Chains A and B, each alone.
Chain A
Amino acid sequence: MQAVATLTRPVNRPEISPAAEFELLFRTHGERMKSIAYNHLGSVSEAEDAVQETFLKIHRASDTYNGESSFSTWAYRILINTCYDILRKRRRRGDEESIDANPIERTASTVDDAKRIMLRRLLESLPEQRRTVFTLFEIDGLSHAEIAETLGITEANSKWILFSTKKQLQEQWRKSQ
Protein backbone atom coordinates (compact mmCIF):
# COMPACT_ATOMS: atom_id res chain seq x y z
CA MET A 1 0.00 0.00 0.00
CA GLN A 2 1.19 3.50 -0.77
CA ALA A 3 2.70 5.67 1.88
CA VAL A 4 0.54 8.54 3.11
CA ALA A 5 1.19 11.48 0.84
CA THR A 6 0.92 14.66 2.79
CA LEU A 7 -0.39 17.13 0.27
CA THR A 8 -0.63 20.59 1.70
CA ARG A 9 -3.89 21.28 -0.12
CA PRO A 10 -6.14 19.19 -2.32
CA VAL A 11 -5.55 21.21 -5.48
CA ASN A 12 -1.96 22.25 -5.74
CA ARG A 13 -0.86 21.45 -9.28
CA PRO A 14 -1.86 24.30 -11.58
CA GLU A 15 -0.80 22.37 -14.69
CA ILE A 16 -3.55 19.76 -14.33
CA SER A 17 -7.32 20.22 -14.29
CA PRO A 18 -9.30 20.06 -11.01
CA ALA A 19 -11.02 16.87 -12.24
CA ALA A 20 -7.67 15.21 -12.92
CA GLU A 21 -6.39 16.47 -9.57
CA PHE A 22 -9.36 14.89 -7.83
CA GLU A 23 -8.75 11.60 -9.57
CA LEU A 24 -5.12 11.78 -8.51
CA LEU A 25 -6.27 12.15 -4.91
CA PHE A 26 -8.35 9.02 -5.29
CA ARG A 27 -5.45 7.13 -6.88
CA THR A 28 -3.13 8.26 -4.06
CA HIS A 29 -5.37 7.74 -1.05
CA GLY A 30 -8.18 5.50 -2.27
CA GLU A 31 -6.61 2.14 -1.43
CA ARG A 32 -5.78 3.10 2.12
CA MET A 33 -9.20 4.70 2.55
CA LYS A 34 -10.88 1.50 1.38
CA SER A 35 -8.85 -0.50 3.91
CA ILE A 36 -9.64 1.91 6.76
CA ALA A 37 -13.34 1.81 5.89
CA TYR A 38 -13.31 -1.98 5.58
CA ASN A 39 -11.61 -2.37 8.94
CA HIS A 40 -14.31 -0.21 10.54
CA LEU A 41 -17.30 -1.67 8.71
CA GLY A 42 -16.32 -5.27 7.88
CA SER A 43 -18.09 -5.11 4.53
CA VAL A 44 -16.65 -4.42 1.09
CA SER A 45 -19.80 -2.82 -0.30
CA GLU A 46 -20.30 -0.58 2.72
CA ALA A 47 -16.61 0.34 2.68
CA GLU A 48 -16.92 1.44 -0.95
CA ASP A 49 -20.07 3.40 -0.14
CA ALA A 50 -18.21 5.14 2.69
CA VAL A 51 -15.29 6.04 0.40
CA GLN A 52 -17.69 7.36 -2.25
CA GLU A 53 -19.58 9.42 0.34
CA THR A 54 -16.28 10.77 1.65
CA PHE A 55 -15.16 11.93 -1.81
CA LEU A 56 -18.54 13.63 -2.30
CA LYS A 57 -18.13 15.40 1.04
CA ILE A 58 -14.58 16.39 0.12
CA HIS A 59 -15.81 17.72 -3.21
CA ARG A 60 -18.55 19.76 -1.52
CA ALA A 61 -16.19 21.15 1.09
CA SER A 62 -12.98 21.48 -0.95
CA ASP A 63 -13.25 25.26 -1.15
CA THR A 64 -13.39 25.43 2.65
CA TYR A 65 -10.33 23.22 3.12
CA ASN A 66 -7.93 25.54 4.88
CA GLY A 67 -4.71 23.58 4.62
CA GLU A 68 -4.26 23.49 8.41
CA SER A 69 -4.00 19.72 8.34
CA SER A 70 -2.54 17.61 5.57
CA PHE A 71 -5.07 16.62 2.95
CA SER A 72 -4.77 12.93 3.78
CA THR A 73 -5.60 13.34 7.47
CA TRP A 74 -8.47 15.68 6.58
CA ALA A 75 -9.83 13.03 4.21
CA TYR A 76 -9.35 10.24 6.78
CA ARG A 77 -11.20 12.28 9.38
CA ILE A 78 -14.19 12.70 7.07
CA LEU A 79 -14.01 9.00 6.19
CA ILE A 80 -13.95 7.88 9.82
CA ASN A 81 -16.89 10.11 10.70
CA THR A 82 -18.74 8.64 7.73
CA CYS A 83 -17.97 5.12 9.00
CA TYR A 84 -19.19 6.07 12.50
CA ASP A 85 -22.44 7.34 10.96
CA ILE A 86 -22.92 4.04 9.12
CA LEU A 87 -22.17 2.06 12.31
CA ARG A 88 -24.63 4.16 14.34
CA LYS A 89 -27.34 3.72 11.72
CA ARG A 90 -26.65 0.00 11.78
CA ARG A 91 -26.92 -0.10 15.57
CA ARG A 92 -30.15 1.91 15.49
CA ARG A 93 -31.59 -0.66 13.07
CA GLY A 94 -30.37 -3.38 15.44
CA ASP A 95 -28.21 -4.98 12.73
CA GLU A 96 -25.31 -7.22 13.60
CA GLU A 97 -21.85 -6.04 12.67
CA SER A 98 -21.13 -7.70 9.37
CA ILE A 99 -18.01 -9.54 8.40
CA ASP A 100 -17.86 -9.92 4.69
CA ALA A 101 -17.39 -13.32 3.17
CA ASN A 102 -16.22 -11.69 -0.06
CA PRO A 103 -12.86 -12.87 -1.23
CA ILE A 104 -10.31 -10.24 -0.32
CA GLU A 105 -6.66 -9.97 -1.15
CA ARG A 106 -4.58 -9.53 1.95
CA THR A 107 -0.96 -8.72 2.30
CA ALA A 108 1.08 -11.93 2.22
CA SER A 109 1.09 -13.40 5.69
CA THR A 110 1.27 -16.60 7.63
CA VAL A 111 -1.47 -15.54 10.05
CA ASP A 112 -4.46 -17.82 9.93
CA ASP A 113 -8.01 -16.61 9.36
CA ALA A 114 -9.17 -17.76 12.80
CA LYS A 115 -6.91 -15.21 14.48
CA ARG A 116 -8.08 -12.45 12.18
CA ILE A 117 -11.72 -13.27 12.88
CA MET A 118 -10.99 -13.33 16.61
CA LEU A 119 -9.23 -9.97 16.51
CA ARG A 120 -12.04 -8.46 14.46
CA ARG A 121 -14.58 -9.67 17.04
CA LEU A 122 -12.52 -8.21 19.87
CA LEU A 123 -12.20 -4.90 18.01
CA GLU A 124 -15.95 -4.71 17.50
CA SER A 125 -16.46 -4.69 21.25
CA LEU A 126 -14.17 -1.68 21.72
CA PRO A 127 -15.34 1.93 22.00
CA GLU A 128 -15.09 3.83 18.68
CA GLN A 129 -11.98 5.85 19.44
CA ARG A 130 -9.97 2.90 20.74
CA ARG A 131 -10.94 0.80 17.79
CA THR A 132 -9.99 3.60 15.38
CA VAL A 133 -6.60 4.29 16.96
CA PHE A 134 -5.75 0.58 16.95
CA THR A 135 -6.97 0.13 13.37
CA LEU A 136 -5.13 3.17 12.02
CA PHE A 137 -1.84 2.32 13.75
CA GLU A 138 -1.66 -1.45 13.77
CA ILE A 139 -3.57 -2.33 10.61
CA ASP A 140 -3.25 0.64 8.29
CA GLY A 141 0.18 1.77 9.41
CA LEU A 142 -0.44 5.44 10.22
CA SER A 143 1.99 7.14 12.59
CA HIS A 144 0.88 8.60 15.93
CA ALA A 145 1.39 12.07 14.42
CA GLU A 146 -1.01 11.27 11.58
CA ILE A 147 -3.54 9.65 13.94
CA ALA A 148 -3.36 12.67 16.24
CA GLU A 149 -4.10 15.03 13.34
CA THR A 150 -6.85 12.80 11.97
CA LEU A 151 -8.69 12.43 15.28
CA GLY A 152 -7.89 15.84 16.75
CA ILE A 153 -6.02 14.41 19.74
CA THR A 154 -2.42 14.74 20.88
CA GLU A 155 0.30 12.32 19.82
CA ALA A 156 0.84 11.36 23.45
CA ASN A 157 -2.85 10.62 23.75
CA SER A 158 -2.77 8.48 20.62
CA LYS A 159 0.18 6.52 22.02
CA TRP A 160 -1.56 6.03 25.35
CA ILE A 161 -4.84 4.92 23.75
CA LEU A 162 -2.97 2.40 21.59
CA PHE A 163 -1.07 1.00 24.57
CA SER A 164 -4.11 0.63 26.82
CA THR A 165 -6.15 -0.86 23.97
CA LYS A 166 -3.46 -3.44 23.27
CA LYS A 167 -3.28 -4.26 26.99
CA GLN A 168 -7.03 -4.81 26.98
CA LEU A 169 -6.79 -7.02 23.88
CA GLN A 170 -3.82 -8.90 25.34
CA GLU A 171 -5.87 -9.87 28.41
CA GLN A 172 -8.56 -11.39 26.18
CA TRP A 173 -6.25 -12.83 23.52
CA ARG A 174 -5.16 -16.09 25.15
CA LYS A 175 -8.61 -16.74 26.63
CA SER A 176 -10.26 -16.34 23.23
CA GLN A 177 -8.05 -18.90 21.47
Chain B
Amino acid sequence: MTITCERIDDLLFEGDAASLELAETHARGCLACREKLDDWNDISRTAKSMQTTWPSDTLWPRIQRAIANETRSRAPMILRVAAALAVTIGLAGILAYALHLHHEKQKAFDQAILRVTALDEVERAEKAHLIAINNLEKLAAPKLEEPQTPILVSYKEKLMLLDDAIAECQTNIDHNRQNAQVRKQLLSMYSEKQRTLQDVLREGNHVSNP
Protein backbone atom coordinates (compact mmCIF):
# COMPACT_ATOMS: atom_id res chain seq x y z
CA MET B 1 0.00 0.00 0.00
CA THR B 2 1.34 3.49 -0.87
CA ILE B 3 1.19 5.89 2.04
CA THR B 4 1.20 9.62 1.42
CA CYS B 5 2.51 12.26 3.83
CA GLU B 6 -1.08 13.34 4.52
CA ARG B 7 -1.94 9.92 5.90
CA ILE B 8 0.83 9.90 8.52
CA ASP B 9 -1.31 11.69 11.12
CA ASP B 10 -4.13 9.18 10.63
CA LEU B 11 -1.70 6.35 11.27
CA LEU B 12 -0.27 8.05 14.35
CA PHE B 13 -3.81 8.63 15.61
CA GLU B 14 -4.57 4.92 15.26
CA GLY B 15 -1.36 4.22 17.13
CA ASP B 16 -1.49 0.41 16.90
CA ALA B 17 1.54 -1.63 15.85
CA ALA B 18 0.33 -2.17 12.27
CA SER B 19 -0.34 1.55 11.69
CA LEU B 20 3.02 2.54 13.16
CA GLU B 21 4.72 -0.02 10.93
CA LEU B 22 3.07 1.52 7.86
CA ALA B 23 4.18 4.99 8.99
CA GLU B 24 7.71 3.63 9.47
CA THR B 25 7.75 2.19 5.96
CA HIS B 26 6.76 5.57 4.50
CA ALA B 27 9.26 7.45 6.67
CA ARG B 28 12.15 5.39 5.29
CA GLY B 29 11.77 7.27 2.01
CA CYS B 30 10.55 10.68 3.28
CA LEU B 31 12.79 13.00 5.27
CA ALA B 32 10.01 15.26 6.60
CA CYS B 33 7.99 12.33 7.93
CA ARG B 34 11.18 10.68 9.22
CA GLU B 35 11.81 13.65 11.54
CA LYS B 36 8.21 13.72 12.63
CA LEU B 37 8.12 10.00 13.37
CA ASP B 38 11.48 10.08 15.17
CA ASP B 39 10.20 12.79 17.53
CA TRP B 40 6.94 10.92 18.01
CA ASN B 41 8.77 7.74 18.99
CA ASP B 42 11.30 9.63 21.09
CA ILE B 43 8.47 11.14 23.17
CA SER B 44 6.95 7.69 23.74
CA ARG B 45 10.31 6.16 24.62
CA THR B 46 11.07 8.96 27.07
CA ALA B 47 7.62 8.63 28.62
CA LYS B 48 8.01 4.88 29.10
CA SER B 49 11.29 5.45 30.89
CA MET B 50 9.46 7.68 33.38
CA GLN B 51 7.53 4.83 34.93
CA THR B 52 8.71 5.19 38.47
CA THR B 53 9.18 2.95 41.44
CA TRP B 54 10.89 3.30 44.77
CA PRO B 55 11.03 1.21 47.91
CA SER B 56 8.52 2.40 50.49
CA ASP B 57 8.34 -0.19 53.23
CA THR B 58 6.79 2.28 55.63
CA LEU B 59 3.90 3.36 53.40
CA TRP B 60 1.53 0.45 54.07
CA PRO B 61 2.09 0.52 57.87
CA ARG B 62 1.43 4.29 57.70
CA ILE B 63 -1.83 3.73 55.83
CA GLN B 64 -2.86 1.03 58.30
CA ARG B 65 -2.19 3.37 61.23
CA ALA B 66 -4.15 6.19 59.60
CA ILE B 67 -7.12 3.87 58.97
CA ALA B 68 -6.98 2.51 62.53
CA ASN B 69 -6.86 6.04 63.98
CA GLU B 70 -9.76 7.12 61.90
CA THR B 71 -11.84 4.04 62.73
CA ARG B 72 -11.20 4.56 66.46
CA SER B 73 -12.09 8.23 66.42
CA ARG B 74 -15.21 7.80 64.31
CA ALA B 75 -18.46 6.70 65.86
CA PRO B 76 -21.11 6.06 63.21
CA MET B 77 -21.85 9.37 61.51
CA ILE B 78 -25.55 9.33 62.31
CA LEU B 79 -24.88 8.84 66.06
CA ARG B 80 -22.36 11.63 66.11
CA VAL B 81 -24.62 14.09 64.35
CA ALA B 82 -27.51 13.00 66.60
CA ALA B 83 -25.33 13.41 69.69
CA ALA B 84 -24.22 16.85 68.57
CA LEU B 85 -27.82 17.88 67.92
CA ALA B 86 -28.92 16.54 71.32
CA VAL B 87 -26.11 18.37 73.10
CA THR B 88 -26.83 21.53 71.24
CA ILE B 89 -30.56 21.63 71.56
CA GLY B 90 -30.94 19.86 74.85
CA LEU B 91 -34.72 19.92 74.99
CA ALA B 92 -36.79 17.10 73.59
CA GLY B 93 -39.56 19.46 72.58
CA ILE B 94 -37.21 21.53 70.50
CA LEU B 95 -35.82 18.36 69.01
CA ALA B 96 -39.30 17.23 68.03
CA TYR B 97 -39.96 20.64 66.53
CA ALA B 98 -36.67 20.46 64.66
CA LEU B 99 -37.56 17.02 63.37
CA HIS B 100 -40.91 18.32 62.24
CA LEU B 101 -39.21 21.21 60.46
CA HIS B 102 -36.72 18.80 58.97
CA HIS B 103 -39.55 16.60 57.77
CA GLU B 104 -41.29 19.58 56.19
CA LYS B 105 -38.05 20.68 54.59
CA GLN B 106 -37.45 17.15 53.41
CA LYS B 107 -40.87 17.08 51.78
CA ALA B 108 -40.27 20.45 50.16
CA PHE B 109 -36.84 19.28 49.09
CA ASP B 110 -38.18 16.04 47.62
CA GLN B 111 -40.65 18.03 45.58
CA ALA B 112 -37.95 20.44 44.53
CA ILE B 113 -35.58 17.65 43.53
CA LEU B 114 -38.24 16.25 41.24
CA ARG B 115 -38.33 19.55 39.43
CA VAL B 116 -34.60 20.15 39.63
CA THR B 117 -33.31 17.07 37.93
CA ALA B 118 -30.46 18.63 36.01
CA LEU B 119 -27.19 18.06 37.80
CA ASP B 120 -25.87 21.52 37.07
CA GLU B 121 -28.81 23.03 38.95
CA VAL B 122 -27.99 20.91 41.99
CA GLU B 123 -24.43 22.10 41.67
CA ARG B 124 -25.62 25.71 41.50
CA ALA B 125 -27.56 25.14 44.74
CA GLU B 126 -24.42 23.69 46.34
CA LYS B 127 -22.41 26.70 45.20
CA ALA B 128 -25.00 29.11 46.62
CA HIS B 129 -24.78 27.30 49.98
CA LEU B 130 -21.01 27.44 49.87
CA ILE B 131 -21.00 31.19 49.25
CA ALA B 132 -23.42 31.75 52.13
CA ILE B 133 -21.42 29.42 54.38
CA ASN B 134 -18.13 31.14 53.53
CA ASN B 135 -19.60 34.53 54.45
CA LEU B 136 -21.13 33.23 57.66
CA GLU B 137 -17.92 31.43 58.59
CA LYS B 138 -15.98 34.67 58.32
CA LEU B 139 -18.47 36.43 60.59
CA ALA B 140 -18.62 33.57 63.09
CA ALA B 141 -14.88 32.88 63.20
CA PRO B 142 -14.04 35.19 66.14
CA LYS B 143 -16.81 33.62 68.24
CA LEU B 144 -15.81 30.08 67.38
CA GLU B 145 -12.10 30.52 67.83
CA GLU B 146 -12.43 30.81 71.61
CA PRO B 147 -16.03 30.00 72.45
CA GLN B 148 -17.17 31.91 75.53
CA THR B 149 -20.24 29.87 76.49
CA PRO B 150 -21.00 26.12 76.72
CA ILE B 151 -23.53 26.42 73.93
CA LEU B 152 -20.93 27.98 71.65
CA VAL B 153 -18.63 25.08 72.51
CA SER B 154 -21.35 22.62 71.43
CA TYR B 155 -21.99 24.59 68.25
CA LYS B 156 -18.29 24.40 67.49
CA GLU B 157 -18.31 20.63 68.05
CA LYS B 158 -21.37 20.24 65.90
CA LEU B 159 -19.76 22.24 63.08
CA MET B 160 -16.68 20.04 63.24
CA LEU B 161 -18.83 16.92 62.98
CA LEU B 162 -20.73 18.43 60.09
CA ASP B 163 -17.45 19.25 58.33
CA ASP B 164 -16.40 15.60 58.69
CA ALA B 165 -19.73 14.40 57.37
CA ILE B 166 -19.55 16.86 54.46
CA ALA B 167 -16.03 15.67 53.57
CA GLU B 168 -17.22 12.07 53.64
CA CYS B 169 -20.14 12.96 51.41
CA GLN B 170 -17.87 14.78 48.98
CA THR B 171 -15.68 11.71 48.73
CA ASN B 172 -18.76 9.69 47.78
CA ILE B 173 -19.72 12.33 45.23
CA ASP B 174 -16.21 12.19 43.72
CA HIS B 175 -16.94 8.54 43.18
CA ASN B 176 -20.34 9.04 41.63
CA ARG B 177 -21.44 12.56 40.69
CA GLN B 178 -24.82 11.33 39.48
CA ASN B 179 -25.84 9.89 42.87
CA ALA B 180 -28.90 12.02 43.67
CA GLN B 181 -29.24 10.51 47.16
CA VAL B 182 -25.72 11.56 48.20
CA ARG B 183 -26.07 15.00 46.64
CA LYS B 184 -29.31 15.40 48.55
CA GLN B 185 -27.51 14.46 51.77
CA LEU B 186 -24.78 16.98 50.98
CA LEU B 187 -27.30 19.76 50.36
CA SER B 188 -29.11 19.03 53.64
CA MET B 189 -25.78 19.06 55.49
CA TYR B 190 -24.93 22.40 53.90
CA SER B 191 -28.32 23.73 55.05
CA GLU B 192 -27.66 22.39 58.55
CA LYS B 193 -24.24 24.03 58.61
CA GLN B 194 -25.63 27.32 57.34
CA ARG B 195 -28.36 27.22 60.01
CA THR B 196 -25.86 26.38 62.74
CA LEU B 197 -23.60 29.26 61.74
CA GLN B 198 -26.61 31.60 61.88
CA ASP B 199 -27.35 30.24 65.38
CA VAL B 200 -23.74 30.92 66.36
CA LEU B 201 -24.07 34.52 65.21
CA ARG B 202 -27.31 34.96 67.11
CA GLU B 203 -25.79 33.36 70.22
CA GLY B 204 -22.79 35.65 69.87
CA ASN B 205 -25.14 38.65 69.89
CA HIS B 206 -26.80 37.46 73.10
CA VAL B 207 -23.36 37.25 74.67
CA SER B 208 -22.23 40.68 73.60
CA ASN B 209 -25.62 42.38 74.06
CA PRO B 210 -27.26 40.79 77.08
Contacts and interface: CB of A to CB of B under 8 A. Distances in A.
Nearest to B13: A163
B49 A116 contact: yes
B48 A1 contact: no
Interface in A141-174: 141, 159-160, 162-163, 166-167, 169-170, 173-174
Name the residue in B35, B52, B67 with the highest tally of chain A Cβ atoms < 10 Å from its Cβ. B52
B12 A166 contact: yes
A34 B175 CA distance: 20
Given A26-B60, A56-B66, A56-B70, A106 B50 contact: yes
Given A23-B60, A26-B60, A60-B168, A106 B40 contact: no
B56 interface: yes
Interface string B33-48: 0011001101111111
Contacts of B35: 174
Q: Chain B interface residue count: which class?
A: 35 or more
A61 B43 contact: no
Contacts of B54: 34, 44, 102-105
Contacts of A104: 52-54
Nearest to B179: A64
A51 B67 CA distance: 13
Name the residue in B44, B54, B70 with the highest tally of chain A Cβ atoms < 10 Å from its Cβ. B54
